[in-house]
Structure 1
C-alpha cells in the first residue's frame, strides 16, 4: 500500500495547534494571551520595544486556524508618526482591531503564485513576535531616514486583505 507523501510530510512537520501556540506565548511572551472562537483562535496583546531607546508599542497578534496570523500596532498611531508619508509594508486594516496592520512576511499571493513565508508548523512566539519587533525597528529607522531597510517584496495594500 502506497503512503501519501503529503501525509508523511504533515507527520514530519505537524501543524502547531491553538493550545500549543497559547502555551508558548504564555511562557515566552509577556502580555495577555487568550483563546477565542471556540478554541480556533489565539490572541496575544502586549508591548514590544525593539531597543532600550525605542518607543513602546502596544501590539495585538491574532491567529485563527486555517488563516495566516495578523499583527496590528494599536498604539502609538503609526500614521501620525509618519506625518503624512505612506508607510511601507502595511496592509489595509480589515482585521477588526483598531490600528496599523503590519506586513511581516510574504503572504500567499494567488495571482503571483507565491507561497507564504509563515507556515502553521511555526510557533508565533518564535516568528511573528520577533518579526514584529524587527519591523518596528526598521519603521523607526525609516522615520529617521526616509529609507526602508527592512527588505520585503513590494505589494499592494490589499494583497493581505483576505487575512
Structure 2
C-alpha cells in the first residue's frame, strides 16, 4: 500500500518555526497562511539579515531578504533570485520535487536561506555565484 505524504498544517509549521528558531515572529493571517520574520547570520563572520518567509498551504514558500543587499562589483542584479528589486530568493528548483507541503519549512527552506546568504557573501567578493542550482525561465515560474 502506497502512503501519501500528509500536508503539514499552518499550526504545525508555525510551531516548528517558533520552537527551532527562538526570537523569530510568526504572523498567521488565517488557518492556511503565515508570514515568518527572523534574522539570519549565515556564519560567525557574516552580516545579519532580516528575512521574511511567506507561506500559503499548497503553494510554494516565498522568501524575501528585507535588509537591502549590495551588488558585487560590476554586477547589475542579484544572483539566483526571482526578483532583484524585491530580493525574492530562489532556494530550490520548483520542478525538481525538492520541496513539498509535507516537509517542515524549519528543516528545509530555512536552512536553504542560510546557505543562500552564505554563498551570497562569497559572490559579493568574487562576483561568481558558487551556490549551484538552476533557475527556470520567468515564463515557467508559478506561485
Counterpart-to-counterpart distance in 1, 2:31 and 2:103: 18
Q: Is the 8 A contact 2:71 2:78 kept in 1?
A: no
Specify the alignment match of 1:102 in structure 2: 89
- TM-score normalized with structure 2 length: 0.88
SS of match in other structure, 2:66: strand
Shift of 1:83: 5.2
1:90 and 2:81 correspond: yes
**How many Å apart are 1:145 and its aligned residue?**
1.2
Work out which of the residue numbers 38, 54, 66 in structure 2 matches 1:74.
66
Over aligned residue pairs, what C-alpha RMSD do you find? 2.0
1:91 touches 1:158 (CA, 8 Å); kept in 2?
A: no
Equivalent residues in 2 for 1:102-141, closer than 5 Å:
102-107=89-94, 114-141=95-122
Could you say which residue in structure 2 is the equivalent of 1:9? Answer: 3
Equivalent residue for 2:28? 35
Specify the alignment match of 1:56 in structure 2: 48
Q: How far 1:56 sits from its partner (Å)?
A: 0.5
Deviation at 1:116, TM superposition (A): 3.2
- Identify the structure with the greater helix proportion: 1
Distance 1:151 1:139 in 2: 11
Q: CA deviation at 1:158?
A: 5.4
3-state SS, counterpart of residue 60 of structure 1: strand
Number of residues paired by the alignment? 141
For residue 64 of structure 2, give the secondary structure of its aligned residue in structure 1: strand
- 1:25 aligns to what? 17
Q: Which runs of 5+ in 2 are unaligned?
A: none
| Pair 43,120 (structure 1): closer, same or farther in 2 beyond 3 Å | same
